[in-house]
Structure 1
Amino acid sequence: MDVADLRVFKSVVDEGGVIRAASKLHRVPSSVTMRIKQLESSMGVKLFHRDRQRLHLSPAGELLLDYAQRLIQLSDEAREVVSGTAPRGVLRLGALESTTASRLPPILAGFHSRYPDVRLELTTGTNDALVSQLVERKLDAAFIAEPPTVRTLDHVALFAERLILISSPDHRLIKHARDVEGTSLIAFPEGCAYRRVLQRWLGSDSLAPFRVIELSSYHAIVACVTAGTGIALLPEAVLDTMPHVKVARHAIPNAQAKITTPLVWRRGEMSASVLALRALFASSSRSKPS
């Protein structure tokens, strides 16, 4: 089994038959048929059920298709990286809303300027949702809130964040969990890593015992806090993007406050675009004065 055979196999699947696949591949149909038979012989299984002029994937063919797509993609990525070909195509990035608002705009603008042939598609979500989408191959890389626990993912630490509690200006000073008793909590839905930090600071396994308002926008969260609806935990860098907002800031212990945003990708599948993004961060870090 080699990548060339897998390309023929995938083309037959995509085109719905040998004749169309042969036309797309600029081959004669007999050559495509021979390649499929060779692939089946090398693997010892039937990849298609033949029904007159139509081919239907067998269960073994269904299993192979996913691997074929991944191996073809890896082959293409390896060729681009080794040959030094400039990144192109689609780069599907995921990011926390906080990172998107406070960290990414200049980075993505620089990346777009340097690699105009790459189309960026950005998806925002909670830490856990982004990890799931990355594992399910819906994303190529993601900026999340904590190092991944999934063994098939690699990461590099990028942004150091400090989390703070915010309240309305007239709220009493918050130093301990008891200082927020009877106060509503405003947080992202389950799956948010910052929500888990808030739970740990409160000494709780969940926020179920508390009055919680779940929102999916930091602007909405800050607006509710400003109005006196409750308190929230968020990265200080996000608040710094809203200089006119009037809230009180309350520090929590460094053990919970300090958090690092990593860039995460599937192990062994770093595309040319993801590699270029990493290199952009590395060059940006080197250019900063120490």
Structure 2
Amino acid sequence: MDTRFLESFVVVVESQSLADAARKLNLTSAALSLRIKALENEVGFALVARSGRTISPTASGLTLATRAKSFLADLRDFKTIGSERLLKGELRLGVASSAVAGPLCNLLLGLSDGYPEIELSVTKGSSSDLYRRLTNADLDVAMMYKPQFELPKSLEWRSVVKERYIVIASKPFGGQDPHELLRTQPFIRYDRTLWSGQLADEYLRTAGIQPKELMELDGLEAIAVLVDRGLGVSLVPNRSAPWPEGLSLAKLPLPDGAPVRDLGLLWTRGSSRLHLIEAIAEMTVDR
């Protein structure tokens, strides 16, 4: 049995969409359908029910997907047995979207130079999504922002870099009181569905500031561009990755008690890939 076909079927079940699964696997929908059909022929029963262009897993298909996921995880573990003391092998890494431009690029360059035999499979997403995927064993390690809730003892956290929140405004507002700007100027809010946006929202509530909200966005780059154009001000982390080029922003520090978001690595204690994870952690930790 070709394990790639099993992996493909698991992705289809988890995506709940043939088209989405095909994009994730970098296949055409037709090629993915052929893989599923070949797998059905091999196991001898239907895995999906087809209705026009849509498919859904059968009861037997769901059972197979669950067992296949466990089998594939064991198979990946078997492949690491001979290299437990060597820095080589596959590692599934999740990365917070706003950490791609800086920390991830630095990590990839370091791995290329120092550990070329570590094969990274990178997934991008929000920190909350990465946390869910890690606890579901879909990732080996996540480079994400630390949640405000207490982490379970089964997980290990190592901080990489801490980013203090600031008020950003267009250049003419440089030197002005940041709280006064938050109260009086149009406010471009960092998306509250993100953990980083929730930190900013909590600070505003604690400081008793009710901003004149203009819009709410989930991208720091887009927020910075709009602020630079004079459309408003924002409360955001002073990101470690480069800000977009060509902007002329006033970055105003907040008084004591400003929130700090903590970018770090999170993994499961006792992972079979702990030797690889610790090597990456040593490369990324902020000294």
TM-score range normalised by the length of the shorter chain: 0.5 to 0.7
Superposed, which structure 2 residues align to 1:1-290 within 5 Å? 14=6, 54=44, 64-77=67-80, 79-81=82-84, 84-89=85-90, 91-147=91-147, 149-151=150-152, 152-171=154-173, 173-176=176-179, 179-181=181-183, 183-203=185-205, 211-238=213-240, 241-242=243-244, 244-269=246-271, 271=273, 272-281=275-284, 285=287
Q: Deviations over 1:205-264 (max 9, x none)?
A: xx9986252334332211101112222233324475456421111222443333321201
CA spacing shift, 1:260–1:253, aligned 2, 3 Å = farther
Distance 1:184 1:239 in 2: 26
- The residue identity in structure 1 corresponding to 2:277 is V
CA spacing shift, 1:268–1:253, aligned 2, 3 Å = farther
TM-score between both structures, scaled by the size of structure 2: 0.64
Q: Deviations over 1:68-114 (max 9, x none)?
A: 44344445445532xx133133x332223433223332232011222
The structure with more radius of gyration: 1
CA spacing shift, 1:94–1:234, aligned 2, 3 Å = farther
Deviation at 1:188, TM superposition (A): 4.3
* Counterpart contact for 1:87–1:276, Cα < 8 Å: no
Structure 1 residue ranges without an equivalent (≥5): 1-7, 16-52, 286-290
Secondary structure, in 3 states, of the residue corresponding to 1:170? Answer: helix
TM-score between both structures, scaled by the size of structure 1: 0.63
CA spacing shift, 1:65–1:95, aligned 2, 3 Å = closer
Distance 1:220 1:76 in 2: 43
Distance 1:243 1:60 in 2: 51
- The residue identity in structure 2 corresponding to 1:139 is L
Deviation at 1:63, TM superposition (A): 5.1
- The residue identity in structure 2 corresponding to 1:155 is W
Deviation at 1:201, TM superposition (A): 1.4
Moved more, 190-199 or 97-106: 97-106
CA spacing shift, 1:186–1:209, aligned 2, 3 Å = closer
CA spacing shift, 1:188–1:87, aligned 2, 3 Å = farther
Distance 1:94 1:62 in 2: 22
Distance 2:241 2:44 in 1: 60
CA spacing shift, 1:168–1:62, aligned 2, 3 Å = closer
Distance 1:226 1:145 in 2: 26
CA spacing shift, 1:239–1:224, aligned 2, 3 Å = farther
- Of all paired residues, the percent bearing the same amino acid is 20
Larger strand proportion, structure 1 or 2? 2
- The residue identity in structure 2 corresponding to 1:273 is L
Secondary structure, in 3 states, of the residue corresponding to 1:181? Answer: helix
Secondary structure, in 3 states, of the residue corresponding to 2:177? Answer: coil
CA spacing shift, 1:181–1:59, aligned 2, 3 Å = closer
Distance 1:80 1:201 in 2: 47
Distance 2:99 2:185 in 1: 27
Deviation at 1:174, TM superposition (A): 3.5
Tell me which residue corresponds to 2:27.
Answer: none
- Tell me the matched-pair count: 233
